Copies of this chain bind each other. A is one copy, B any other.
């Protein structure tokens, strides 16, 4: 039976990517060597790295002002790195928009490096909307947002306009649609949703923001050092970068991010439509803020939750249990999720 994998991350990637990655682990590009036994400084791997960076630049129209890095440590390491690289050593201050658990964790790390002003939060209603109409202090070193809230199923559809550098955790919606990178000081994302396997972290940085804190930064946390080393200051996560490169090639072949976005909008519309029209289910996120990536929903009759999960399992549908802080269900429908799988879920909902 076909499996429908709705995991929130690590998560589904295109079958073609799995096949090519599997082959490369045996014999990389007919070199007679496995991808994972070659030096990261070999011309073969440097070509992979350069291609991955070039594809990120091409798909997202990254301007010359910005650099692309593939690091280790996940988005969680970026909570710390964004703060240490941007917050002034003396009198540093940053503004954060709190839209859920991931924002809160980012705030916690930033507080170690300076003053944090939470300029808006949707905590009052368990994060079921994206705050609007707040003021970002003009003396902040940067403002931080989480563009898609993986747990709560909300997503920024418009980004705040501000004079201070905009820093965005795009872990769960990067490459799901076009984004104007020039509006951002830093974009970061753990690879393990729309980009690739766990173990790589994409960072896109406006270069001229760096080196201005008056702070001594440990080498591995210093973006300038990673830029200088072209992500090879130390050994990079070779396999995760290679698979990301394959997936970026796949997105390009699909027609780029406009095509990807259209597909994502259609899938999300199918599912939200079912939730709205099916009397047994409900989605409690503000309509204009609904995530196209993580669709959260509840059974009106909670006592049937286990029964619904069992019906899903029977149809080959896995990982639709909601996060414990929200309850109910969550269907993560990242780029690689086919309409056919979304339809399989809808079929179970209809019959339920």
Give chain B nearest CB distance to A142 CB in angstroms.
17
- Quick check: B12 and A22 within 8 Å, CB to CB? no
A26-B22, A199-B199 given as contacts; is B190 within 8 A of A235 (CB)? Answer: yes
- Give bound CA distance, A73 to B234, whole Å: 9
Q: Is A333 an interface residue (CB 8 A)?
A: no
Residues of A within 8 A of B (CB): 1-3, 5, 7-13, 18-19, 21-23, 25-26, 31-34, 36-40, 42, 72-77, 79-80, 105, 108-109, 112, 190, 192, 196-200, 216, 218-221, 233-240, 243, 318-319
A3-B33, A190-B235, A235-B9 given as contacts; is B40 within 8 A of A198 (CB)? Answer: yes
Residues of chain B with a CB closer than 8 A to A9's CB: 39, 235
Closest residue to A1 on the B side, CB-wise? B32
Interface of A is mostly: loop
Copies of this protein, total:
2
A-B contact list, 8 entries, CB within 8 Å: A1-B32, A2-B32, A8-B39, A9-B235, A75-B234, A76-B220, A76-B234, A105-B219
Closest residue to A13 on the B side, CB-wise? B37
Give chain B nearest CB distance to A112 CB in angstroms.
6
- Quick check: A34 and B18 within 8 Å, CB to CB? yes
- Give bound CA distance, A13 to B7, whole Å: 31
- Quick check: B237 and A237 within 8 Å, CB to CB? yes
Closest residue to A221 on the B side, CB-wise? B80
Partner among B10, B23, B200 whose Cβ is within 8 Å of the Cβ of A39 = B10
Residues of chain B with a CB closer than 8 A to A10's CB: 36-40, 235, 238
